[in-house]
Chains A and B, each alone.
Chain A
Amino acid sequence: MVLLAVLALLMVGAPAAFAAGEQVQGRLVDGSGNPVAGVVLVASKQGGDAGDARSGKDGRWVIPLTEPGTYDVAIRTDTLPSGIGIREGTPDHRTVDIAEGETKNVLFSLGEAAQSGTSWLGSLAQHLLDGIRFGALIGVTAVGLSLIFGATRLINFAHGELVTLGAVSAWVLNASGLHLLLAAAVSVVLVGAFSGALELGLWRPMRRRGVGLVSMFIASIGVALILRQLILMFFGGAPRSYAQYSLQRAITVGPFSITPRDGIILVLSLAVLSAVALMLTKTRIGTKIRAVADNRVLAEASGIDSERIGVLVWVLGGGLAAAGGIFYGLQELVSWTMGLNLLLLMFAAVILGGLGSAFGAFIGAMVIGILAQVSTMFFDSELQVVWALGLMILTLLVRPQGILGKRERVG
């Protein structure tokens, strides 16, 4: 159905506390003039995020800024309520110049999907589909995290940055003229190689020096900080989209509606996950990976080179993270913080499913994805991570080994 356009203007009374400061603001309304609440808007400046805000119950939003300058204000389309989208042909981000002490209104045109009166059940079905899509995406990235933990016992805090690196390197290749598919393939290989190099150049020497696991854990945070800031320096703070990216009209089947792009990504994610599952269960190398994760000493005694498996798992984990990052960047936007945003969800998925179990990570990711999306039916979409993390802590309380984890003493 055709989308109905609308404005988004209206002066908002600036809160007294910020009367002197610079800010951008606006009001989001849908096709029939009703306010749209809970939508996240992000202001960024060359060099980083400058602030964000979420529209309130009256549709109003204000982003206070710390200094004058040129800002890019983007609307996070994934936080729009279902049935509402950016009006076709209008941008989802705008550039504004803010002078000293200035308050500027920024307008976004929102359109309304025609069937506004969907039933509760229909809405649940739609959120379930979105949840499976999101869960599959988390799964692709989280499996690598779990495999790496299984083989090396290291919780890789830099895994989120591998996701970002994948999305960003694909963007750079894509922007320099390569077709997206080719760019994605090259980027997966590159990040996989980079990840393997990290194991060979940093983690293995650390293990050889007898550095404890906790220390390596902290070092991985250092690696994450370095990578994230380097990406920010070279890629910039503004979110961007791929060249072959375009807004698509959703295909509706019964209560489900999904854009062809998201549908393809869902199928691809599930295909990647099935391929990993087949590899782990049906091939010799997969058996070796599982053996090392299960009992490293026993695996070594049976003639498995666990060091080689370690490198392999890092390469595989990096490649999977990159693939997940590209999927994520296609569904939303490529930005330097995307991996960080996903990291806690990956942790939640891996702990829920059982640390070190690849299949647990699939299941955990699905549960987390569905929980995150369905929670937006009842609560603020900004809080979806809160529910996921809450479930993770609850899991630790009642079944610390996770759904598929081995019953071992974890305390």
Chain B
Amino acid sequence: MDILAVFGDALRSSVGPQAAAFALVAMGLNLQFGYAGLLNFGQVGFMLIGGYGLALSVTRFGQPLWVGVVVGLAGAIALGLLLGIPTLRLRGDYLAIATLGAAEILRLSFRSAGAEPLTYGVLGVQQYARGFYAANPFGSGELSLFGLSMTGTQVWIALVGWLLVGLFFAVTFVLIRSPWGRILRAIRDDEEATRALGKNVFSYKMQALVFGGCLAALGGMVLTVSSQSITPDAFSSELSFFAFAALLLGGRGTLGGPILGAMLFWFLASGADSLLRQAMSAGGLGGTFAGGLNSGAVRFILVGLALVLFMLFRANGILGAKQRKPVGSDHA
């Protein structure tokens, strides 16, 4: 077994475009859940809107790429407002179910036959981001650094993704230290008290939901552009839970938490996949199970275990303070 190859696979995807996309999504979730205490289980809905806003503007309406990005972000803002109005006045668990439902409504509507003239139905759109790759300065050959190799196109999209992560890290850094960020944390820690101080809690929550949703939309764009393919079923609710896992792994309510979490998430997921593939080719492990020992399943199980164990032992993640009372406990 080649441990070095496993390590290489894991390291490659921890800096790859998927990790960058996940970092963006988790940063959005961090604003909503980590700082404002909003339980948004429909983050994948924002990703879908972002990805499709870009893809459909380019293919259906023949617009340049930047218009697609604007359309995707505008869509995310609209979704945030639409979703926030009925649910942000409610208790956290209601918000969670409503957002989960809304994301599922979006996925099912986008894949339905009626929407096919707009969305291309279940088959989705492929190869639509040629404009983006035409600007690629790295060429399409293999590039290699410290023994890690990646194709030039992957390096290009990863670079753009991480630049976005860096930009919004800085934005979040400033926002969280501003009075705005203080009020957000105050809402998370005691909503009633913040309201009693005369703050418009609803409006602040809405701003956090919309801003976090825009970050998720950007993440959705990076994710789908990097695979050059977008289908409705790529946006199943598990993706929202993966984003939660990444955020909780790194530490909610910390600046670096979502970024570290996203990298760690992909490191562990790809490492486990790679390890399993090697183990299977070495010995006939695969035959043991009726469903085949599929590497995707192991990834899901690891995510599930991580969620349970972190909640049980370290609800604030790796970067979070250990002693603090769990964020947004009883009345979030």
Q: Which residues of A contact B (CB under 8 A)?
A: 15, 17-18, 37-38, 46-48, 51-54, 56-57, 62, 64, 155, 202, 205-206, 209-219, 221-226, 228-230, 232-237, 336, 344, 347-348, 351, 355, 379-380, 382-383, 385-386, 389-390, 392-394, 396-397, 400, 410-411
Interface string of B311-324 (1 = CB under 8 A from A): 11001000000000
Complex contact A400–B305 (CB within 8 A): no
Q: What is the CA–CA distance of A410 and B92 in the complex, to the nearest angstrom?
A: 9
A13 to chain B, nearest CB (A): 14
Name the segment of B62-70, B109-117, B161-169, B264-272 touching the other chain.
B109-117
- A-B contact list, 11 entries, CB within 8 Å: A46-B292, A51-B233, A52-B122, A155-B97, A212-B330, A214-B332, A218-B244, A235-B290, A392-B98, A393-B102, A396-B87
Complex contact B238–A225 (CB within 8 A): yes
Q: What is the CA–CA distance of A234 and B290 in the complex, to the nearest angstrom?
A: 5
- Residue numbers in B under 8 Å from A226 (CB-CB): 300-301, 304-305, 308
B132 to chain A, nearest CB (A): 18
Complex contact A219–B311 (CB within 8 A): yes
Complex contact B297–A229 (CB within 8 A): yes
- Residue numbers in A under 8 Å from B328 (CB-CB): 212, 214
Complex contact A217–B96 (CB within 8 A): yes
Complex contact B90–A233 (CB within 8 A): no
Q: What is the CA–CA distance of A225 and B85 in the complex, to the nearest angstrom?
A: 30
Complex contact A212–B332 (CB within 8 A): yes
Q: Which residues of B contact A (CB under 8 A)?
A: 39, 85-94, 96-98, 100-102, 104-105, 108-109, 111-114, 116, 122-123, 126-127, 233, 238, 241, 244, 248, 289-294, 296-298, 300-301, 303-308, 311-312, 315, 326-330, 332
Q: What is the CA–CA distance of A218 and B111 in the complex, to the nearest angstrom?
A: 28
> Nearest 7 A-B pairs (CB), nearest first?
A212-B329, A222-B307, A225-B304, A226-B304, A47-B292, A411-B89, A397-B86
Q: A37-B113, A214-B328 are known contacts; what are 6 more A-B pairs with Cβ within 8 Å?
A: A57-B113, A62-B123, A209-B312, A214-B326, A226-B300, A397-B85
Q: What is the CA–CA distance of A235 and B94 in the complex, to the nearest angstrom?
A: 33
Complex contact B297–A15 (CB within 8 A): no
Q: What is the CA–CA distance of A54 and B114 in the complex, to the nearest angstrom?
A: 11
Known A215-B329, A228-B300; contact A47-B294, beta-carbon cutoff 8 A: yes
Complex contact B291–A380 (CB within 8 A): no
- Residue numbers in B under 8 Å from A221 (CB-CB): 241, 244, 304, 307
Known A48-B294, A237-B291; contact A211-B311, beta-carbon cutoff 8 A: yes
Complex contact A393–B86 (CB within 8 A): yes
- Picked from A212, A217, A234, A390, the residue with its CB within 8 Å of the CB of B289 is A234
A51 to chain B, nearest CB (A): 8
Known A217-B39, A393-B101; contact A222-B308, beta-carbon cutoff 8 A: yes
- Residue numbers in B under 8 Å from A233 (CB-CB): 289-294, 297
Q: What is the CA–CA distance of A216 and B104 in the complex, to the nearest angstrom?
A: 23
Q: What is the CA–CA distance of A232 and B92 in the complex, to the nearest angstrom?
A: 31
- Picked from A56, A394, A410, the residue with its CB within 8 Å of the CB of B113 is A56
Q: What is the CA–CA distance of A205 and B97 in the complex, to the nearest angstrom?
A: 25
Q: What is the CA–CA distance of A380 and B111 in the complex, to the nearest angstrom?
A: 11
Q: What is the CA–CA distance of A386 and B306 in the complex, to the nearest angstrom?
A: 31
Complex contact B112–A225 (CB within 8 A): no
- Residue numbers in B under 8 Å from A57 (CB-CB): 113
- Residue numbers in B under 8 Å from A355 (CB-CB): 93-94
Complex contact B91–A410 (CB within 8 A): yes
Complex contact A222–B292 (CB within 8 A): no
- Residue numbers in A under 8 Å from B296 (CB-CB): 48
A60 to chain B, nearest CB (A): 11
- Residue numbers in B under 8 Å from A382 (CB-CB): 108, 111-113
Q: Which residue of B lies closest to A44 (CB)?
A: B291
A288 to chain B, nearest CB (A): 24
Q: What is the CA–CA distance of A236 and B292 in the complex, to the nearest angstrom?
A: 7
- Picked from B97, B289, B304, the residue with its CB within 8 Å of the CB of A347 is B97
Complex contact A344–B104 (CB within 8 A): yes
Q: What is the CA–CA distance of A226 and B308 in the complex, to the nearest angstrom?
A: 10
Known A214-B329, A221-B241; contact A47-B98, beta-carbon cutoff 8 A: no
- Picked from A17, A232, A396, the residue with its CB within 8 Å of the CB of B297 is A232
